[in-house]
Structure 1
Amino acid sequence: MENMNAIEVEGLTKKFGNNTAVDNISFEVKAGEVFGLLGPNGAGKTTTLRMMTTLLKQDFGTVKIFGHDTLKESRIARSMFGLTGQYASVDEDISARENLMIFSRLNGLSKNEAKSRTDELLEEFSLVNSADKSLKNFSGGMRRRLDLAVSLITRPSLIFLDEPTTGLDPRTRMQMWDTIRELVDQGSTIILTTQYLDEADQLADRIAVIDHGKLVKIGTPDELKKNIGGTKLQFQVDEKEDIPDLKNVLENQLSLESTFSGNQVQVIMSEKNQLVTILNVLDENNISFSHLIVQDPSLDDVFMSLTVGKN
């Protein structure tokens, strides 16, 4: 199983009336990687996820889970993954232990196996001290950890995480990141949707950006960032009367893309070594400056570049 793709999506399409929510999307997910699905609200990523997890039937195209077609071999395909959403199907009125026992039994474990697996998961997700409390008394972070624990009862090779840290405080988010990394270290393949771009940057090996139902870009975080442009240089010119000369030098002499807002200047550098040239030019022309910041492209820049302004 290690040498095959965890998921193969080909020509996936879904329409709701006259609206094409997912438009002929194709990609592969390698076994053992964290694969991020990003896109603005309404872009089609949730519909894509629902089709991949057999919760929604596609109009056209195929999804294969470790080689098993989700339509032709739906039972086998479903047995090979776990799904954790923002709200897992757990009972609010009973305890974490009881929920895990019920779902373990529903997944075919014997009573003794269910008890053993429940104890393991309570320990693994730091829920032992709260195991017998009603879920109504759980914090957001505790609830999210239980959601993940439920999806891992059968130790699936593939795990779909649909916005697993939405609404969590920063500390709990970091704890969830550590848990996700541990799952990958243990051999799991992760499909991650998230509204936090820093989360995708930290966790994902590759990212697919979806917009208006189409796959607009796919690659590693570094590849995506390199594709959208260079490093940003920002600084403030001390004397406003120096700006016309500076603009002339940057654009005509150095052929650099620059924008001006008051005394604030932003320059896009294709290579970081251009910084030395720019600083030398500022010195030669006696242009004093302050508040210099050098910033590499971020996934926020990628997201804005690929999705904004195309509505």
Structure 2
Amino acid sequence: MSGIPMDAIEVIDLTKRFGDNVAVNGIGFKVREGETFGFLGPNGAGKTTTIRMLTGMTGITSGRVLIHGHDIVRDTLAAKRLMGVVSETSNVYDELSARDNLVFTGRLYHLRKAEIERRARDLLETFGLYERRHEPAEGFSKGMKRRLTLAMGLVNSPRILFLDEPTSGLDVQSRRLIRDVVQDLAQKNVTIFLTTHDIEEANVSCDRVAIINRGTIAAIDAPEKLKQTFESLQSVEISFDATRPGLLEALERLPQVSDVRKEGDKFRLYTADPPDVLGSLCVFAKEQNLRPISVTTLGPSLEEVFIRLTGLSVGMKKEARGTDAGVV
């Protein structure tokens, strides 16, 4: 054995047409076994259509999808047995209890009764739902239903887990719990295919990300490597002890500065040469009789790479500013 990870997912020249509209246009990529793979794109870019083809939920116009070597069209049952699917919309049955939802899902996979009971108990405990296992799901909060949906997607102990917007609109506690579970699954060599509108979630969770735009793959690589391809998005962030009219315009005139943006009480100066700009700022502050309060060099964020590649920021968000500090 070489120790080289096998391909969990292989996408070959995949295309989906709806009449004259080409939703997905000949894309191809591979996801390695045990990899957490992010799939990003603006609304209407082809994310949902792609994941539906990968999981056998919609037909393929042309191309192939292999799940651990099983063709999703020709060998659908074998492929689906290897996967768990957590869609963006809840598939929880409100009239059933949390436990019964898991039992029902286990029966769909033809699991043995004893295994269903064991898996249901373990998953309910993992997701903090065991104490309310006998309550109808209709009384659950959105976060609890999302946790239950994820538990249902794990009943069959899948080798690949497809997650479509797993933490969208959830409270902090539920988001953190789901992220912890996903990280634990990755450590157990479960392949995670994650679609998300949350750029920071992809940045901290994914080994690699693919960015799809208008039905084609715009880029695919590790988040840090994608950032490094855009040196012009490096920047220096500075705040002064005072602000005055015309300060932004004066900063724009500094050598090596391509753009300046005011963000709260700070100014962010974009440049391909941060060290040179730092020197200019020292001189500038002295000439303007200003005292810098904070100065930080910033590498390009994954959000900025996304916007540069797609020209859009529709629906995208980054929860935490400052997480890219020190990235070069």
One-letter amino acid matched to 1:72: R
Question: Residues 287, 138 of structure 1: CA spacing in aligned structure 2 closer, same or farther, 3 A cutoff?
Answer: same
Structure 2 partner of 1:257: 258
Deviation per CA, 1:270-304: give whole Å up to 9, x if none: 24433432234325745636565533322221222
Q: Does 1:282 align with 2:284?
A: yes
TM-superposed CA distance for 1:246, in Å, is 5.5
Distance in 2 (alpha carbons) for counterparts of 1:80 and 1:148: 16
1:223 aligns with 2:225: yes
Q: In the aligned structure 1, how far is the partner of 2:185 from the partner of 2:258?
A: 44
Find the counterpart in structure 1 of residue 134 from structure 2: 132
Write the distance in 2 (CA, Å) between the matches of 1:276 and 1:187: 44
| Counterpart for residue 51 of structure 1 | 53
One-letter code of the match for 1:11? D
Partner of 2:306: 303
Q: Is the 8 A contact 1:238 1:290 kept in 2?
A: no
The TM-score normalised by the length of structure 1 is: 0.89
Q: Secondary structure at the match of 1:42?
A: coil
Report the equivalent of 1:202: 204
Q: 1:146 to 1:81 in 2, by over 3 A?
A: same
Aligned pair partner of 2:275 in 273, 276, 280: 273
Q: Structure 1's 68 and 15: CA in aligned 2 closer, same or farther, altered over 3 A?
A: same
Distance in 2 (alpha carbons) for counterparts of 1:167 and 1:242: 38
Alignment gaps of 5+ in structure 2: 315-328
Root-mean-square deviation (CA, aligned residues, Å) is 2.6
The equivalent of 1:161 in structure 2 is: 163
Match of residue 3 from structure 1: 5
Q: 2:195 aligns with which of 184, 193, 196?
A: 193
**Aligned counterpart, 1:72:** 74
Contact 1:232 / 1:296 at 8 angstroms: preserved in 2?
Answer: yes
Q: Any idea what SS the aligned residue of 2:27 has?
A: strand
Given that 1:230 and 1:270 are in contact with CA atoms closer than 8 Å, whether structure 2 keeps it comes out as: yes
Pick the aligned partner of 1:233 from 233, 236, 247. 236
- The one-letter code sitting in structure 2 at the alignment partner of 1:296 is G
Deviation digits for residues 225-275 of structure 1 (CA, Å, limit 9, x no counterpart): 222333222446855577777555x24xxx3313477x9864223244334
Q: Report the residue type matching 1:300 in the other structure.
A: E
Any conservation in 1 of the 2:236–2:274 contact (CA below 8 Å)? no
Aligned residues: 306
Aligned amino acid, residue 15 of structure 1: R
Letter in 1 for 2:45: A
CA contact (8 A) 1:50 1:56 kept: yes
Q: Check the 8 A contact 1:239/1:288 in 2, yes or no.
A: no
User: Aligned-pair distance for 1:101?
Assistant: 1.1
> What's the TM-score once normalised by structure 2's chain length?
0.84
